[in-house]
């Protein structure tokens, strides 16, 4: 096991921000479950760093992964570290044609900027066996530590694609049944068996762009009852995914 150099520790700490990730092409993953998920994902790992008291029998490292030891408190961003982190290469972005090939259960997110919400939605999408997530506009960086923590490592098993605008994705979504979640419209969603589906969720503050209303085939609305203004987007997303993508008696809705 190698000792961590100061320059390496500085690099790890820089991965907490977008600039550091952009300059190095790497991200940092912290915590035992996250690192286990990362190791099993096949993503290229640069190094695993453990505290001197960490029990290595808790993980199965591939022989090519370099292992380092340090005082983990000197590099962690967590208030209470589990004694392990990993630095890995950010995967190359998916090619559009490749991403949409053989996809049938997608989630589209419009400018959701809160990392906790993005991570939770990705984790929920993994639970319901969705096969891809589309990020539009100014969605939070999926490789940020806050997204990784809130997703519990689910990011490592999900495919992503980014578009600046909905217009740029229109041609790829032509054969999908597109479901909006506008609050000002009534819900008219019907289960579509054997139809490729994509569910869209909007920005926390402003919801979905009203200029896109005519792009969707139906609208899913929770309610209309409620004793408060709105639900958190990750909570609402979980409820809606359960209705749209659940398996009921062998029939996928």
Kind and range of the H or E run holding 187? none
Element (H, E) at 105: strand 105-110
Q: 3-state class of 42 per DSSP?
A: coil
First to last CA, the chain: 51
For domain 96-252, give the CATH number: 3.40.1280.10
Torsional sign, CA 18, 19, 22, 28: negative
Cis previous bond, 224, omega within 30: yes
pTM more than 0.85: yes
**Domain 2-89 - what CATH class?**
alpha beta
Sequence-ordered list of residues with C-beta below 8 angstroms from that of 60, at least 6 positions apart, any chain:
39
* Cβ neighbours, 10 Å, residue 215: 15
146 three-state secondary structure: helix
Distance, C-alpha 73 to centroid of its chain: 26
Domain ranges of the chain: 2-89, 96-252
Output DSSP code: residue 41: H
User: In tens digits, what is the pLDDT along the chain, a chain of 253 residues?
Assistant: 899 999 999 999 999 999 999 999 999 999 999 999 999 999 999 999 999 999 999 998 887 899 999 999 999 988 888 999 999 999 999 999 999 999 999 999 999 999 999 999 999 999 999 999 999 999 999 999 999 999 999 999 999 999 999 999 999 999 999 999 998 899 999 887 778 999 999 988 888 999 999 999 999 998 766 555 678 999 999 999 999 998 544 556 6
Biggest distance spanned by C-alpha atoms of the chain:
60
CA distances from 127 to 106, 123, 158 (A): 13, 6, 11
């Amino acid at each position: 096991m190698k000792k961590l150099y100061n320059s390496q520790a500085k690099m790890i700490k820089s991965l907490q921000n977008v600039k550091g990730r952009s300059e190095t092409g790497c991200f940092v993953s912290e915590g035992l479950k996250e690192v286990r998920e990362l190791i099993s994902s096949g993503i290229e790992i640069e190094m695993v760093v453990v505290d001197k008291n960490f029990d290595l029998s808790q993980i199965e490292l591939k022989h090519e992964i370099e292992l380092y030891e340090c005082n983990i408190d000197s590099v962690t961003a967590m208030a209470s570290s589990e004694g392990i982190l990993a630095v890995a290469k950010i995967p190359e972005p998916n090619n559009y044609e490749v991403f949409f090939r053989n996809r049938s259960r997608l989630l589209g997110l419009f400018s959701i900027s809160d990392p906790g919400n993005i991570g939770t939605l990705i984790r929920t999408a993994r639970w319901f066996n969705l096969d891809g997530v589309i990020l539009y506009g100014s969605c939070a960086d999926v490789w940020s530590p806050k997204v990784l923590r809130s997703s519990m490592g689910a990011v490592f098993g999900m495919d992503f694609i980014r578009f600046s605008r909905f217009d740029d994705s229109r041609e790829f979504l032509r054969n999908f049944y597109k479901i909006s979640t506008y609050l000002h419209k009534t819900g008219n969603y019907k289960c579509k068996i054997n139809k490729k589906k994509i569910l869209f969720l909007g920005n926390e503050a402003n919801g979905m762009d009203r200029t896109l209303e005519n792009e969707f085939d139906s609208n899913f609305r929770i309610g209309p009852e409620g004793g408060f203004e709105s639900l958190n987007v990750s909570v609402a997303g979980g409820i809606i995914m359960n209705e749209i993508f659940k398996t009921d008696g062998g029939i996928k809705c």
